[in-house]
Structure 1
């Protein structure tokens, strides 16, 4: 999401300074997050026929996008943007958004025989691209304020009371998730991770507590599933609809969103506590999460529209199988051949668009919109 590295990889000032090493934890966390994104979309069709799948879905959606927003915020800069940084909002976000909106329009027209092009209404996963752009644009202004994190919480809770703030340009969802992005930035700004050595010190009991927290959440999601279905908790977790649309006309409806935000932070902490710290064969795939994010929906689209994932029994076979396939899809879409083939779409370089073509060249390094800097 930012222009910063996935780890502090830029050299300090001085002629003899060495580049700081890349911290594999952040790439591992990115890849784990994108696997959860694919998994969440893959099991969506299972939730209509399986209570276990529905409970798993709710537990997943309680934290996986907040976790992605926290990571993105952690690597975002709040200073006045440079010309290059402003250009990257165009090359990394706006241009890919328009490209994939066109692709989705063509896909719907070819498959469904109809399409209603509307760039103000993001197709499926494209809302996150716009959210990234808005996050980047507002962060320098938030950083000027006293208590910026508190203000984002007020904004997130308050926007739910405004039915006229909807999914147009994904504004409702963006503002709803803004506190998580701001929280990630705040952690970096206050140097919380390094100061408390959160990536170095991880005793066994932390992992035990993390597993217990996630397991308890899953159990609560399954044990009280009729309650969650009755209040339509699934859509509350999207941070997209107004409280009135969700049946929460009461004045205290914002309290439920606040409670969900607190729950998401706790679950994100548990999730991050379980992320491996070392370098593995799959670690570098965390540098290419935007390929997975933008392309996986096209892989899942035939299954979503055909109903192939409906009425699959028994759940104890199909849910693990879909989980494994989600991991495979996330791996495949981050591989070098796929990146080579789709790079012009995911990472376009429209030099013709700029008065100064050098703004689109980016020789030497590439930046993932979620904050990962990597060798070209």
Structure 2
């Protein structure tokens, strides 16, 4: 179904865009509002897609092998690259595999999601249990960014929700992709536009409560509010509901048929792992600070972010970086036949590609 590849690529564009405009938010209210509007739902949307293409059955030997080759090995490779980059650029590095560098947290999250899902699926109400975990983890201050555990558990509900949609065949039974009349798309557009207006109109309030960090799903409630308040879980629950509404509106506007860029949705791993290296010099050099006027620079950075996503998913980039992003370390395994050199990985959201693509 081309829709899901379209959704994958649209989401990875939002990831690049969010990281690209982050430095603009210090000097531009409009950029900050756009940043908030994106961060409210783009990673929950990714988690939903990831869960939709995940299976809850006990993993086979080959599936366990793929967790090593698709997640753990790339994580180690790119942590090493980030250590080298910081050493060369900043003159120092503090390598620590328990603290993922920048975007690498999502690799660990995917691994944990897939390990936890078979156990959740055994329970009578897996969605309820996932929701309890995602909301309840905020009350536990010693669950933190180590191995990105706090963020992973905070987003666990969205991953489980995606799996639940597939498990109960909700998308097909209710024709949620095929049947999207004009009035539904209009409502979806109004919802997204309305949220962007809310972000801009009450920006001072959002800055005061540090809304961005609520959307990271990373910090405990004690860190976010100064102390543990009983009502903090209800706040997160509200933001989670908002993320589902915005994700649904975003998906409703995506094309369901194939486009020229549809196949790029099968290569989001390349964009995900490489874009941070492209943006790193711009973010750290300060060239994105103090850019004025906003009406010129915000669209410019937006277009560049989209261009970066297209470039990093292109064939030439894939051929050059495939050994790093799709490693096949047969030497690591007692049974080397478990690692096929012609077998391509799942991308970060669980997409499967045919061999030779």
User: Is the TM-score greater than 0.5?
Assistant: yes
1:55 is the counterpart of 2:33? yes
Relative to 1, partners in 2 of residues 1:366 and 1:89: Cα closer, same or farther, differing over 3 Å?
closer
1:316 is the counterpart of 2:306? no
May I ask how many residue pairs the two structures share in their alignment? 354
Name 1:339's counterpart in structure 2. Answer: 318
1:103 is the counterpart of 2:78? no
- Contact persistence 2:66–2:345 (CA under 8 A): no
**Cα root mean square deviation, aligned:** 0.9
CA distance in 2, matches of 1:316, 1:256: 33
Structure having the larger proportion of residues in helix: 2
Which residues of structure 1 form unaligned runs of 5+?
Answer: 1-22
Tell me by how many angstroms 1:366 deviates: 4.0
Name 2:242's counterpart in structure 1. Answer: 263
CA distance in 1, matches of 2:126, 2:341: 32
CA distance in 2, matches of 1:367, 1:35: 18
Q: CA-to-partner distance for each residue in 1:144-195, whole Å, 9 max, x for gaps? A: 0011111111111111011100000000000000000000000000100000
1:198 is the counterpart of 2:153? no
Name 1:291's counterpart in structure 2. Answer: 270
Name 2:208's counterpart in structure 1. Answer: 230
- Contact persistence 2:5–2:265 (CA under 8 A): yes
Tell me by how many angstroms 1:368 deviates: 2.0
Relative to 1, partners in 2 of residues 1:158 and 1:139: Cα closer, same or farther, differing over 3 Å?
same
Which residues of structure 2 form unaligned runs of 5+?
Answer: none
Q: CA-to-partner distance for each residue in 1:192-216, whole Å, 9 max, x for gaps? A: 0000111111100010000000011
What TM-score, normalized by structure 1, do the two folds share? 0.93
CA distance in 1, matches of 2:106, 2:343: 27
Report the more deviating stretch, 285-294 or 150-159: 150-159
Which residue, 268, 281, 286 being the options, matches 1:307?
286
Q: CA-to-partner distance for each residue in 1:109-141, whole Å, 9 max, x for gaps? A: 000000000000000000000000000000000
Name 2:334's counterpart in structure 1. Answer: 355
Tell me by how many angstroms 1:365 deviates: 4.7
Relative to 1, partners in 2 of residues 1:364 and 1:253: Cα closer, same or farther, differing over 3 Å?
closer
CA distance in 2, matches of 1:184, 1:173: 17
Relative to 1, partners in 2 of residues 1:143 and 1:248: Cα closer, same or farther, differing over 3 Å?
farther
1:367 is the counterpart of 2:346? yes
Q: CA-to-partner distance for each residue in 1:60-101, whole Å, 9 max, x for gaps? A: 000000000000000000001100000000000000000000
1:242 is the counterpart of 2:256? no
Name 2:161's counterpart in structure 1. Answer: 183
Tell me by how many angstroms 1:372 deviates: 1.0
CA distance in 1, matches of 2:230, 2:71: 37
Name 1:10's counterpart in structure 2. Answer: none
Structural mapping, 1:128-139, within 5 Å: 128-139=106-117
Name 2:44's counterpart in structure 1. Answer: 66
